[in-house]
Structure 1
Amino acid sequence: MKTQPQPQRTRRLRVPDIAWIEIPGGPFIYQGGETGELPTFWIARYPVANAQYQTFIDDGGYEEPRWWVDLVRPTPEPSRWPQPNRPRTDINWYEAVAFTRWLNAKLGLPEGSLRLPTELEWEKAARGEHGRIYPWGEEYRSGYANVDEKMADAGQWSLGQTTAVGLYPHGGSSEGVADLAGNVWEWCLNKFDDVTVATPDDSGDSRVLRGGCWIDDPDIACAAPRLRDHPEGRDNSRGVRLLSSILIEPVR
């Protein structure tokens, strides 16, 4: 008896569904009391998780030249802690930018709508209008962030690794953005030496990370410190959070 050919199954790519939080436009305080003003934007509630970044890899993101224009394309490295709901670590600034370009296109958004935040945008999301020291307030509170509390005698917790995104909801900002203190440092778009330069390029100029990580003490993981790193730098303390300049409808 002749067998009928079986239809080929095609795997449906599941585009990452990001939870967006609105950060209202207007004035704000940053760094040592400077003032600025930004339009309304939307920032991801959580850092990008392993499962979300894996969709970029599975879709051939490292092989598609258009995501890497003016960037240095590396070979991907695995995340130090590969659980699907933990932050994606071990990605450099170039990879973070390429991921945002890919997701922007997959969601059909106008070019550049979805990207890394500048550090001024990141800081407003973390510190609010009035320049909070931590996302939740003016003082560190034990158990509010994944940091090394023992190093600064600030509490009993020092997990020595990342945790699932959103595991510290009580440590979120007043708008509900989670993990802005601790867990992983987050890449920002602009250059370290000039916050006004935020255009991606392959110059090798240092970029900025914000927020501290699981290995830092609470004084480093507050909302103002700036970390300098080469854009090719990657390790198990670096991650990424997304920003959109337009409101995005939920993925269906």
Structure 2
Amino acid sequence: MAEDGDALAARYRRVRERSLALVAPLSAEDAMVQSMPDASPTKWHLAHTTWFFERFVLECDPDYRPYEPDWHYLFNSYYQSVGPMHARPSRGLLSRPSLEQVLAYRARVDAAVDAAFARGALDEAARRAILLGTHHEQQHQELLLTDIKHALWCNPLRPAYRDDLAPAGATTAQPLEWIAFDEAIVGIGAPAWPQAAEFAYDNESPPHRVLVPAHALASRPVSNAEYRAFVDDGGYREPMLWMSEGWARVQAEGLRAPLYWDDALEREFTLGGMREIDPQAPVCHLSYFEADAYARWAGARLPSEAEWEQAARMAAVEGHFADDDRLHPCASAAEGLAQMFGDVWEWTSSAYGGYPGFRTLPGSLGEYNGKFMCGQWVLRGGSCATPRDHVRASYRNFFYPPDRWQFSGLRLARDER
């Protein structure tokens, strides 16, 4: 195990308390809104993460009795091996159970887990499930923020999630530079957990070697000002810049700027409400198609995930994370390879698939990552809504190419000959 019993119990309580703190600014009405099929209501996030611990930890004890057995159907997400589930696009129809009942459910499950820690009743398998469950909940904390942001943006009043979030500030980003890498055979990936002590998801393993051609990476993510130049230059009107499916979506949906920018291209919706766009901050809420089109316009390309990880292993985990309580990307004055972590997830050119020798976790938890390795693209580095201790150089996030509601941006790459 990566953490002993006391450390794991403390981590469990800290993560669970953080979820409640994120929900505190929301009303019961806010908590049940589902603005699109890809998003989930806040209340569902709270209940599903609790269901995870009840189902995969507490129910391993034959004497445990579920809080509400029928809720297994409501709050299972995609674990087919443990039973059927309520349809994802209909989660916003669940006015019952109430938010108050869901919070009571969390309290009951937390008390049972705390009691199991106190009794020393958790075996190695249960402790592994708890550690995985805390990382799973941190993923849902980020989703909770991105989902409620989309829901509040759909409200014509554009209400803020929180009025007290600090503005971006007046930091000036460093001029973009190119950092060259020679052709090399590099190691990427993480040792398989739980055989290895340090936690990593199964999709990060096994470690393997990749031949990476000579290339250069941009020193920082693309800024709002740089992306605005692409918009002003007619980037959304030039089909030669776009993948075929991406161009079809530009036409069908009338896309002309990143999600949440206003029509004047001067203000954007944030978790703090409508605010002036900071030209120096990393651009965010881009689809893979938008990131790829911008890179073509800029005479560059997106990095492969091997190129990205090679560089990230040389960089400190520095950037703006959820812990900094800004909840929006900010500019950085750091030199060299800056903001490899935090601020915005960075699209790569790599399709999401298994590494050579990939194996899922055994049992039902093996449904966690592997079965989604179809039609999605890899993003790296975390965002301003990611907990700082949840990312590492080998971490692989993945979304479908049209997805825009995550804090997703890009870093340019180019070939070096």
Distance 1:50 1:206 in 2: 25
User: What residue number does 2:326 align with?
Assistant: 159
Render the CA deviation track for 1:161-215: whole Å, top value 9, x for unaligned: 2111x34x2xx7xxx211001111000012112679xxxxxxx921110000111
**Larger-gyration structure (1/2):** 2
Deviation, 1:92, is 0.4
1:224 aligns with 2:398: no
Structure with larger RCO (C-alpha < 8 A, sep 6+): 1
Counterpart residue number, 1:190 = 350
SS for the counterpart of 2:289 is helix
**Stretches (4+) displaced over 3 A:** none
Is the Cα–Cα contact under 8 Å of residues 379 and 398 in structure 2 kept in the other structure?
yes
The match for 1:19 among 148, 159, 177 is: 177
Paired position in structure 2 for 1:208: 378
Is 1:50–1:88's contact at 8 Å kept on the other side of the alignment?
yes
3-state DSSP class of the match of 1:177? coil
1:29 aligns with 2:224: no
Pair 24,147 (structure 1): closer, same or farther in 2 beyond 3 Å: same
3-state SS of 1:72 partner: helix
Higher strand content, 1 or 2: 1
Rounded Cα–Cα distance in structure 1 between residues aligned with 2:295 and 2:392: 26
Q: Closer, same or farther in 2 for the Cα pair 1:80/1:34, shift >3 Å?
A: farther
**Rounded Cα–Cα distance in structure 2 between residues aligned with 1:190 and 1:223:** 15
Is 1:91 equivalent to 2:258 in the alignment?
A: no
Larger proportion of helix: 2
Distance in 2, Cα, partners of 1:85 & 1:24: 30
User: How many angstroms does 1:19 deviate by?
Assistant: 1.4
SS at match of 1:189: strand
Letter in 2 for 1:115: R
Runs of at least 5 residues in structure 1 that lack an aligned partner in the other structure: 1-16, 105-113, 129-134, 150-156, 197-203, 248-252
Shift of 1:146: 1.1
2:225 aligned residue (51, 55, 64): 51
Return 86-95 or 217-226, whichever deviates more.
Answer: 217-226
Given the two structures, how large is their TM-score scaled by the length of structure 1?
Answer: 0.68
2:410, 2:378 → 1: CA distance? 11
Instruction: Provide the C-alpha distance between the structure 2 equivalents of 1:195 and 1:57, rounded to a whole number of angstroms.
Output: 36
1:59-115 Cα distance to aligned partner (Å, 9 max, x none)? 1111111112423233033255621001111210001111111121xxxxxxxxx20
How far off its partner does 1:147 sit? 1.3
* Deviation of 1:218 (Å): 2.1
1:115-143 deviation line (CA, Å, top 9, x unaligned): 00011111111114xxxxxx22xxx6xxx
CA 1:184/1:69 → structure 2, altered by over 3 Å: closer, same or farther? closer
Which residue of the partner structure matches residue 139 of structure 2?
A: none
Question: How well do the aligned residues superpose, as a CA RMSD in angstroms?
Answer: 2.3
* Counterparts of 1:83 and 1:61, CA distance in 2: 20
Deviation at 1:158, TM superposition (A): 3.0
Match of 2:415 among 231, 238, 245: 245
Contact 1:209 1:228 (8 Å CA) reproduced? yes
Give yes or no for the alignment of 1:118 onto 2:265. no
